Amino acid sequence: MTHKSELAALEIENLTKCYGTFEAVKKVSFNIFPGEVFALLGPNGAGKTSIISIISTLEKLTSGSVKIFGVDIEKETMQSKRLIGVVHQEIVNSGFFDVTEILDFMSGYYGIYKNSERINYILHKLGLYEHRQKKVKQLSGGMKRRLMVAKALVHSPKLLLLDEPTAGVDIQLREDLWNFVRELQSEGMSVLLTTHYLQEAQELCQRIGILDKGQLKLVGQTKEIIKQFSLRKILIKTKTEESHYEANAFFEKKDQGYYSYFLPDNNYLGKLLQELSLKAEDILDIQTQEGSLEMAFKKAIEMKS
């Protein structure tokens, strides 16, 4: 999907943001390619929202550069705004207008005055069509969140910025939103996602970047980062109980008759069985659990800069 020769959907070079003497973002660089879903992960205060705010021109960068499909956000601000849609963390409540009016207003903001076909398409996709004549203040919290996504997509942007879009929403809405993100990706849209739900990032994103205290710790393919920074868990149930099963360096715990071990790579299982002096006839059951993004995330945050 991604090739160095492609024009990046988002190109960030040495981005720095200071609030007074506090450096919130420290020379961050990464790219997102067309049709890619990319997650920017990090603990609270890592600088994720500052980066989203700079890309969407709500904040001024201190130094560095940001380009959207080659368009510099500082030199060509209006053109760059047309290329992006933004779903912010906080719900903006324009309570005295109905859903369709809000989307009409947003269309007009981008100079689109006959946009009913696009609006109806989005309303149907996000489960808002039956609520289209309701005032925003009559919507539930989940429906307001859907409306924020609709507002971000009304002008057919090429890059969608999702800043904690599923924070505090129910499971059904979360699943609906991610199915819609997959559909948008299949249509060629690029997505930058920030989330604290690491399982979502693991399932949705081809690549991730891990940010901590304003610094980008690493960027890479999601699967490769999980492989490099997490451990594979092996569960073994044996016919007999031996003390040396628990003396092994990779032993974690014994639970419900299973000895569990964390192994550093996929090639270590045979060596583990040798160290335990286990033969096939000694084993009642053996299970494997692949490493997780959550484990890799914790390891990456612990790395020294």
% of the chain surpassing 90 pLDDT:
52
Residue 29 has pLDDT above 60, yes or no: yes
Q: Is the model more confident about 40 or about 175?
A: 40
Q: Is the model more confident about 291 or about 130?
A: 130
Residue 302 has pLDDT above 90, yes or no: no
Report the pLDDT averaged over residues 226-252.
86
- pTM here is 0.82
pLDDT in tens, 99-129: 999 999 999 989 998 899 999 999 998 889 9
Contact yes or no for 239/282 (Cβ under 8 A): yes
Report the pLDDT averaged over residues 142-152.
89
Residue 56 has pLDDT above 50, yes or no: yes
Q: If we measure between CA atoms, which residue out of 150, 97, 161, 86 comes closest to residue 122? A: 150
HEC letters along 143-182? HHHHHHHHHHHCCCCCEEEEECCCCCCCHHHHHHHHHHHH
Q: Return the top range by mean pLDDT from 86-90, 93-97, 185-189.
A: 185-189
Pairing of strands 10-19, 22-32: antiparallel
Residue 2 has pLDDT above 50, yes or no: no
| Residue-level pLDDT at 265 | 66
Strand order in the sheet with 190-194: 84-87, 159-163, 190-194, 37-41, 207-212, 215-221
Residue 4 has pLDDT above 50, yes or no: no
| Residue-level pLDDT at 291 | 78
- Please give the mean pLDDT across all residues of the chain: 88
Residue 5 has pLDDT above 50, yes or no: no
Q: Which domains does the chain have, with CATH numbers?
A: 10-227 (3.40.50.300), 230-302 (3.30.70)
Report the pLDDT averaged over residues 70-84.
94
Report the pLDDT averaged over residues 211-215.
94
Q: Is the model more confident about 305 or about 175?
A: 175
Torsion of CA 55, 44, 20, 217, to 10 degrees: -70
Contact yes or no for 39/194 (Cβ under 8 A): yes
Q: Is the model more confident about 27 or about 280?
A: 27
pLDDT in tens, 41-54: 999 889 999 999 99
| Residue-level pLDDT at 104 | 94
| DSSP code at position 62 | S
Backbone angles phi, psi at 232, to 5 degrees: -85, 135
- Angle (deg, nearest 10), helices 116-125 and 141-153: 140
Q: Which of 115-129, 134-148, 214-228, 253-267 has the lowest mean pLDDT?
A: 253-267
Report the pLDDT averaged over residues 64-72.
96
Give residue 165's pLDDT band: very low, low, confident or very high (50, 70, 90).
confident
Contact yes or no for 105/97 (Cβ under 8 A): yes
